């Protein structure tokens, strides 16, 4: 009897739980139906709104696409202009680089030519200096030799000392005169000897 009573109590508890669960189930089903109804209403509303929005969005997207295409075309045009400008600038840069190389080569050639000219000028200056030294030596020797000739010419017996400085022509004339006199004197000696 105690076991049966215990089992009955347990069964009543379980039945109570079952009823509560069924009640909760019905309430949940009711809520679900209400939510489904709300969802359907919202879906219908959303669908209608979406269609309207789709049309608006389509118009907006078409307009935006046209604007974007216009922007893309403008950017492509600008890009083509920039490419052309870049190409022209690269060509100009290449020409300038070639000119720089040519100018540097010309400068190097000019520097080399300047060095050669400077070297030649230094060599000529050296030669000029050597020539001047040699000329001074020759002039000194010539002057000594001339003085010796004058001394020898006017130290001859019967000759008079020169008045002032002699010119080369006067000295030559005096020498020729002595030579002529000596030649005549030798002829006279020969003639006397033959006699």
Helix (H) or strand (E) segment spanning residue 184: helix 168-194
Residue partners of 166: CB distance under 8 A and separation at least 6 = 150, 174
Q: What count of other Cβ atoms lies within 10 Å of the Cβ of residue 174?
A: 19
Distance CA 187, CA 191 (A): 6
pLDDT in tens, 31-54: 778 877 877 776 676 666 666 666
Which single residue is written with the structure tokens 């000029």?
128
Token pair 């040519």: residue: 102
Place of tokens 């083509």: 80
* Confidence at residue 145, expressed as pLDDT on a 0 to 100 scale: 86
Give the integer Cα–Cα distance in Å for 64 and 134.
101
pLDDT single digits (tens) 80-138: 778 787 877 887 887 788 888 888 888 889 999 999 999 999 999 999 999 999 999 99
The burial of 171, by beta-carbon neighbours within 10 Å (0-12 exposed, 13-18 middle, 19 or more buried), is given as middle
Q: Identify whether the C-beta of residue 171 lies closer than 8 Å to the C-beta of residue 148.
A: no
The helix or strand, by DSSP H or E, that contains position 61, with its residue range, turns out to be helix 2-154
More confident: 21 or 119: 119
pLDDT at 1: 58
- pTM value is 0.39
Using the CB atoms, write b or e for 68-104: b if 16+ within 10 Å: eeeeeeeeeeeeeeeeeeeeeeeeeeeeeeeeeeeee
């Amino acid at each position: 009897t105690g076991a049966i009573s215990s089992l009955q109590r347990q069964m009543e508890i379980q039945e109570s739980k079952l009823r509560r669960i069924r009640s909760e189930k019905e309430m949940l089903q009711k809520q679900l139906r209400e939510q489904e109804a709300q969802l359907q209403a919202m879906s219908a509303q959303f669908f209608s709104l979406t269609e309207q929005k789709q049309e608006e969005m389509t118009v907006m997207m078409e307009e935006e696409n046209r604007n974007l295409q216009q922007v893309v075309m403008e950017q492509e045009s600008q890009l083509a202009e920039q490419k052309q400008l870049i190409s022209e600038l690269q060509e100009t840069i290449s020409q300038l680089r070639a000119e720089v190389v040519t100018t540097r080569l010309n400068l190097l050639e000019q520097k080399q030519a300047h060095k050669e000219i400077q070297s030649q000028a230094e060599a000529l200056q050296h030669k000029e200096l050597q020539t001047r030294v040699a000329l001074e030596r020759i002039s000194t020797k010539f002057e000594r030799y001339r003085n010796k000739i004058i001394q020898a010419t006017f130290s001859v017996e019967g000759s008079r000392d020169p008045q002032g400085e002699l010119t080369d022509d006067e000295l030559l004339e005096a020498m020729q005169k002595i030579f002529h006199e000596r030649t005549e004197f030798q002829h006279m000696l020969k003639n006397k000897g033959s006699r």
